[in-house]
Copies of this chain bind each other. A is one copy, B any other.
Amino acid sequence: MKNISIKSYHPAGFMLRYQKLIHDEMIPYQYHVLKDEIKGVEKSGAIENFINAAKALKGEEHGDFYGMVFQDSDVAKWIEAASYSIAVFHDREIEEKIDEVVDIVAAAQDSDGYLDTRFTVLQNDRRWQNLLEAHELYCAGHMMEAACAYYEATGKRKLLDVMLKNAEHIYNHFISEKAEGYPGHPEVELALMKLYYLTGNKHCLELAKHFIDCRGEDPHYYEKEIKNRNWYIWGNNPSNYEYQQSDMPLRKLSDAKGHAVRAAYLYSGMKDVANETDDKELSDACRRLWESITQKRMYITGGIGSTCHGEAFSADYDLPSDTVYAETCASIALMMFAQRMLKDDINGEYADVMETAFYNTVLAGIQTDGKEFFYVNPLEAVPGISEVAQTQRHIRLTRFGWHACACCPPNAARLISSIGKYAYGENDDTVFCNLYAAGEVSFDNGMKVICSTEYPYSGNIKYSVTGSGNLSVRIPGWSRKYEISKNGAGIKAAFEKGYVTVKVNDGDEISLTLDISPRYVYASEKVPALSGKAAVCAGPLVYCFEGVDNKGDVLSLYIDTEKSPSLNGYDPSLLGGTRTMTVPGFRREAQTALYSDKAPEMAKTELFGIPYSLWANRGRNQMRVWIPVK
């Protein structure tokens, strides 16, 4: 794909439901949270920080900085999500709110281009001294992404100009003035690349490449930084090289390591730079990291970062269901990485992972009412142990409301609102359908596609084409068979690396049938936590089993994999509309002793599953994805 920015995507079906949830619930709500206008919600201070920074710049009396060091990024993510959303829903009221926020942000920029409210309000003399902890480049990156989205949605250059000036300021500091160092929390790399793609500004490309090239060249940079500054925010350990992705030059990386969100943002930026500069060595490193993640360190749900210690990748095959971290943001970052891999190499495996992460972990992050959120996404939860045991204190049985470190909710909002950019792509006269996102898509090459489907609850997908060229549609790895027809007649289409490509002319209707019949999935024997277990999937959806559907006890359940599971009909009244799963199996009798030499009696039963992303919407419950096989 030449261009990951399709012209527009107007959703229907499943995607519409989620984009509406973001538009109707999350974006207005988050706006008021950021402005501290909702009673009973933890103070954000994020908008106020920008107002105070503007006052500080003018030498006026002003309030204190409030919140986390990366508080600015909450505003940026909101602008970005809201911009994507108005591109779809054309909501004037929200656009006015964005305009208002953009004005507030712009006023907080210093005359030299610097923009970070924490330092402008609190410690203007300490800029760029603490890359390890201070998140200045991270916040800048998110605001760059916001600027691109706002411009694309509205054509308004105000924030784009602010952030180009900010990028130039950063360029001067790190390139012209040769300041040492690289971002503590990577993100600005991919953001600079977005700015570059949109504006062609070469300094943005050069700066992104610089941060990629110098990272880890001197693994001890952060230690030197600490010696020079002698002040701290949290007191992060500068020698935690793997955690902070500074243990070696990025081109040498093979294993996905450290903080999972930071890692996947970084790998996304690496791949952008590699794609743009034809850097094969860097591209090869990205491929090794991709394989490390997807072949050895990823949950079946597309969750990554299996340990809460540092919210980080763990060792190969260490994928516990219960002490897991699998942050929502990490799966969003994984989708970003997948999107960039796909851009360079049309290959179904990238889109497969993108889809798995989306339909399972990313959507699990959001309550069906759009008001509560998971940061951590376990594959097993047991009241009495989850939340309570020291190793599972971070596991929650119900979602949080908005809270101080609100990284995941606005991140999910921006991802879902821009899902069209992941679902579709184009290249000269070809359009790529990566995900099966119902709705209307316009491409820069002049083609248009209307996708009609009840996917993921149906395997039938229809594309009505305007214009002529090639329609290249992914065939998922999980679909054991597929059928494709053109204007009602079955056809054989060229299949290459997970995509079938069909020549299309104006008015053609291409129908694709995928096999979403339920399947049992088994983990490699190398995953100790999953020995003897199976999961149940249907299409891209991983199913889970909750107590509320299974007599309050899923720990006693076994699956009978000799018999087939069956997908029940669509129930519009359940969990906002879904299809449940019935799985043949057994329930073992209760055993009163902790240990007994009496083999447990097994009684035939049926297990009832729901899509994993919908768990924990009906109170505190046992939940399991992986069930022992009997």
For A518, the closest partner residue in chain B by CB is B597
Contact string against B for A residues 467-491, beta-carbon threshold 8 Å, 1 for contact and 0 otherwise: 0000000000010100000000000
* Contact A532/B591 with A315-B385, A384-B317 known, Cβ cut-off 8 Å: no
For A528, the closest partner residue in chain B by CB is B382
* Contact A322/B524 with A294-B594, A315-B384, A389-B314 known, Cβ cut-off 8 Å: no
Supplied contacts A309-B390, A385-B528, A525-B555, 20 more A-B pairs, CB within 8 Å: A294-B594, A314-B389, A314-B390, A318-B391, A320-B391, A322-B529, A382-B528, A391-B391, A478-B597, A519-B597, A521-B596, A522-B598, A523-B595, A524-B591, A524-B594, A531-B555, A532-B630, A535-B595, A537-B597, A628-B628
A558–B524 Cα gap in the complex (Å)?
14
Range of interface residues on A (Cβ < 8 Å): 35 or more
Most buried by B among A307, A382, A389: A389
A312 within 8 A of B: yes
Contacts of A320 in B (CB 8 A): 322-323, 391
A310 within 8 A of B: yes
For A519, the closest partner residue in chain B by CB is B597
For A588, the closest partner residue in chain B by CB is B525
A600–B531 Cα gap in the complex (Å)?
11
> A309 is contacted by which of B298, B391, B588 (Cβ under 8 Å)?
B391
* Contact A391/B314 with A528-B385, A532-B532, A594-B296 known, Cβ cut-off 8 Å: yes
Please give me the 3 A-B residue pairs with the lowest Cβ-Cβ distance, nearest first. Answer: A532-B628, A309-B390, A525-B556
* Contact A390/B522 with A294-B594, A384-B316, A628-B532 known, Cβ cut-off 8 Å: no
Contacts of A598 in B (CB 8 A): 522
Contacts of A524 in B (CB 8 A): 590-596
> A390 is contacted by which of B310, B316, B597 (Cβ under 8 Å)?
B310
> A522 is contacted by which of B525, B529, B596 (Cβ under 8 Å)?
B596
Flag if A317 contacts B385 (CB, 8 Å).
Answer: yes
Flag if A315 contacts B380 (CB, 8 Å).
Answer: no
A526–B588 Cα gap in the complex (Å)?
11
Contacts of A314 in B (CB 8 A): 385, 389-391
Overall SS of chain A's interface: loop
A68 within 8 A of B: no
Most buried by B among A385, A537, A598, A628: A385
- Nearest CB on B from A74, distance (A): 28
> A533 is contacted by which of B323, B392, B521, B532 (Cβ under 8 Å)?
B532
Contact string against B for A residues 348-387, beta-carbon threshold 8 Å, 1 for contact and 0 otherwise: 0000000000000000000000000000000010101100
